Amino acid sequence: MDPVTVDAQPLTIEDLLAAVEGAELRLGEAARARIAAGRVLIDEAIASGIPVYGLSTNVGHGKDQRVRREELQRQQRMLVDTHGGAFGPPLAQDVVRAAIVVRINGMARGGSGASLAAAGTLVSMLNAGVHPVLPGTGSIGAADIGHMAGIAQVAVGAGLARYDGVTLPGGEALRRAGIPPLRLEGKDGLALISSNGVSVGHGAIVTAHAARVADAADEAAALSLEATGGNPSIVLPAVGRAKPYPGQIAAAVHLLGLLQGSRLLDAAGPRSVQDALSFRVVPQVHGALREFLAATRRSVEVELNSASDNPLADVTSGTMISNGNFHPIVMAVSFDALRVALVHVGQLSERRMSHLWDAVMGSLERGTPPPAMGPASLPGVQLRYAASACFTALRLLAAPATLNSTVLDLGVEDHATGAVLGVRKTEEALGLLSDLLAIEVLLAVDVLDLSSPTRLGSGTARVAALVHAAAAGAASAADVHHRVREQYPAPSRQ
């Protein structure tokens, strides 16, 4: 795997994911120069004695309380030691790695004022596989301070970390990896903890997952069209030209490609001039998912490559600026909107299953024997009610995470984005939608096996063959579902 270099150019989501998966991360010369330039401003601010939030003042409601120069180092260590307030099951290792990459890249933008040693320690931890243990609940989405403090604690030799498959005190994990503990300099502590590393890093992982699910949704819908003899006019290029949303056009192109070679594209292929809306508006609804996914991906990329620190070490003006760039509201709202789009895709899938159910029952009432008998026969029919339960759970996740913040710290912190929760809920929604789509695929294949169509499209035939392979030797309908579900995988959870 090629190394990933954090340098002058923006870091892509693909770069981040490569580092998460184990590619070596390096700091380029331009990144080192920007970090050093930001650090100069910190040294100048310390020397001048001007009040700078979190450096020569306390934080939160203590923003106007001065910190004596001789206490600066202790102040930075205090920020790291006292802000790790998270609890619950730990975050997955890939999310932790992603959070570290996000913070490194944020420091490399030059606005954090962190020392080169601070960035270098995070790089060393990532490359050596020293993974801080971060409890899952601890951020309101106004910088993931509770989580990022856990990373910072390991960097200074405290906290807990996983290394070489073992959970260890942070200092011992660093020792075994040959990494000296970081000695905090002015603003290092605040720079390490004041980042949306978890929100942005997890968001990058989830957007990659969502792109795969978008394709899987098209596959399920195309197979249901085959099973019901649906009308493929909905994916003809003229429809997209008439309403040129890029997402709708992309969905239609994909669907048409899946159907290439199908009997449905023959003049006498469709059974009706027009199908139910759950079939007819697939390009529009799946297109909406692609549109909001594109917007969400852009928001993640902007956050990933922004200098989101407060205060901002602005090299251009040579000043330290108090600001609110730590508030990832565009990204948070984007994930809320993306979840609504996911639920609409799931709603179409669940509604199409009613038509598939009718087709199965019609075939059985006409005396068509099931293709096989046993616990794994007609798995889609067996799981139809489970699909209804799945959709109910999916629909409940559509509620926004961004509108439920509380007022904290004597009224100073009176708004939050809920970004961590919004990303996590979106990942849950993707999992449920994947379950739903897998059941639709099974039910569509049940219909096809009972009706024996003459010719499937190249893409839909591949999906049907996948189901038949999964069903071979399966012990139950749930077993078949599990095997098919693996074709719509979430990123690995380590």
Task: Assign residue 475 the CATH number of its domain.
Answer: 1.20.200.10
Same domain, 208 and 174: no
| pLDDT per residue as tens digits for the range 90-132 | 999 999 999 999 999 999 999 999 999 999 999 999 999 999 9
Same domain, 157 and 105: yes
Amino acid at residue number 457: G
Same domain, 211 and 129: no
Look up residue 178 and give its DSSP letter: T
Contact 99, 301 (CB under 8 A): no
Q: In this structure, what CATH number is given to the domain that contains residue 164?
A: 1.10.275.10
Give the up-direction half-sphere exposure of residue 269: CA atoms within 13 A in the CB hemisphere: 21
Same domain, 19 and 39: yes
Q: Which residues pair with 321 in a beta bridge?
A: 312
> Tokens representing 16?
């981040």
Same domain, 290 and 353: yes
Residue 8 domain boundaries: 4-195
For strand 87-90 and strand 135-137, is the pairing parallel, antiparallel, or unpaired?
Answer: antiparallel
Domain assignment of residue 494, yes or no:
no
| pLDDT per residue as tens digits for the range 289-321 | 999 999 999 999 999 999 999 999 999 999 999
Same domain, 290 and 415: yes
Q: How many domains does the chain have?
A: 2
pLDDT of residue 489: 54
Cα 191 from Cα 102, distance rounded (Å): 12
Cα 98 from Cα 209, distance rounded (Å): 14
CA 203, distance to chain mean position in Å, is 4
Contact 481, 379 (CB under 8 A): yes
Domain limit, last residue, from 180, 195, 210? 195
Same domain, 137 and 246: no
Contact 46, 186 (CB under 8 A): yes
- With a CB cutoff of 8 Å and minimum separation 6, the contacts of 449 are 370, 371
Give the up-direction half-sphere exposure of residue 59: CA atoms within 13 A in the CB hemisphere: 19
> Which is nearest to 195 in space by CA: 154, 146, 122, 251?
146
Same domain, 190 and 213: no
Cα 41 from Cα 303, distance rounded (Å): 23
- With a CB cutoff of 8 Å and minimum separation 6, the contacts of 409 are 60, 61
- With a CB cutoff of 8 Å and minimum separation 6, the contacts of 165 are none
Q: Which helix (H) or strand (E) holds 184?
A: none
Contact 461, 223 (CB under 8 A): no
3-class DSSP state of 327: coil
Q: Which residues pair with 168 in a beta bridge?
A: 161
Angle subtended by helix axes 197-228 and 458-471, to nearest 10: 100
> Tokens representing 107?
């420091």
Domain assignment of residue 308, yes or no:
yes
Same domain, 283 and 341: yes
Contact 265, 225 (CB under 8 A): no
Which regions in the chain score pLDDT beneath 50? Answer: 490-494
pLDDT of residue 56: 74
Domain assignment of residue 375, yes or no:
yes
Same domain, 330 and 460: yes
Cβ-count burial 274-292 (b if 16+ within 10 Å, e if not): ebeebbebbbbbbbbbbbb
Domain limit, last residue, from 164, 179, 195? 195
Domain assignment of residue 491, yes or no:
no
Domain limit, last residue, from 163, 195, 227? 195
Handedness of CA 282, 288, 294, 299 (dihedral sign): negative
Same domain, 296 and 337: yes
* Rounded (10°) CA dihedral 266, 450, 457, 473: -170
Same domain, 343 and 432: yes
Domain assignment of residue 493, yes or no:
no
